[in-house]
């Protein structure tokens, strides 16, 4: 957590210096993903854990649709790979290393967490679960 806190502090400092960040599109995206993790972690009142996110992603959950018990049902067990919807439509990898635009659009993140957590768990994901899952995808 200490390292992450330092990274976030550094990102915040960079954001306050526009000349430094000019032309650094990649850094701006990483900063936004770090902020998203940080916001959910603050709501949860605990630091994000990529390991917990990994376990949550692979777990078979009860309460949702029986044919989609896991996030990995559609996103595959290795989110660096493309996934597939039940209808066979391709889903771009969730891993930020493969899909750098992931978790940079708060509306998209909110929409799909709502939809997918309901499908898999039959309930909304908690802020802690969201922080952990994004931390996991960002760590790959």
| Residue among 33, 49, 75, 136 that touches ligand HEC (CB under 6 A) | 75
Which among 7-15, 27-35, 40-48, 83-91 is the span making contact with ligand HEC, rule CB under 6 A? 83-91
Q: In this structure, are residues 130 and 74 in contact, taking their beta carbons and an 8 Å threshold?
A: no
The DSSP 8-state label assigned to residue 66 in this structure reads T
- Coil vs helix vs strand at 89: coil
Site size toward ligand HEC (CB under 6 A) is 21
Tell me the closest approach of the beta carbon of residue 60 to ligand HEC, in angstroms: 11
Tell me the closest approach of the beta carbon of residue 23 to ligand HEC, in angstroms: 24
Q: How does DSSP assign 8-52, residue by residue? A: HHHHHHHHT-HHHHTT-HHHHHHHHHHHHHHHHHHHHTS---HHH
Q: How open is the CA angle 57-60-64, to the nearest 5 degrees? A: 100
Residues 89-128 as x/- pattern, contact with ligand HEC by CB under 6 A:
--xx---------xx-x--xx--xx--xx-xx--------
Q: Where on the chain is the footprint of ligand HEC (CB under 6 A)? A: 68, 71, 73-75, 85-86, 91-92, 102-103, 105, 108-109, 112-113, 116-117, 119-120, 133
């Amino acid at each position: 957590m200490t390292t992450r806190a330092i990274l976030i502090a550094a990102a915040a400092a960079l954001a306050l210096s526009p000349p430094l960040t000019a032309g650094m599109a990649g850094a701006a995206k990483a900063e936004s993903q770090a902020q998203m993790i940080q916001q959910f972690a603050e709501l949860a009142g605990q630091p994000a854990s990529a390991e917990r996110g990994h376990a949550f992603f692979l777990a078979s959950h009860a309460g949702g649709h029986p044919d989609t018990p896991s996030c990995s049902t559609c996103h595959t067990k290795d989110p660096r790979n493309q996934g597939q919807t039940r209808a066979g439509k391709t889903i771009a990898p969730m891993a930020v290393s493969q899909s750098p635009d992931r978790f940079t659009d708060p509306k998209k993140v909110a929409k799909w967490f709502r939809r997918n957590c309901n499908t898999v768990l039959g309930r909304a994901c908690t802020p802690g679960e969201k922080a952990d899952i994004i931390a996991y995808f960002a760590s790959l």
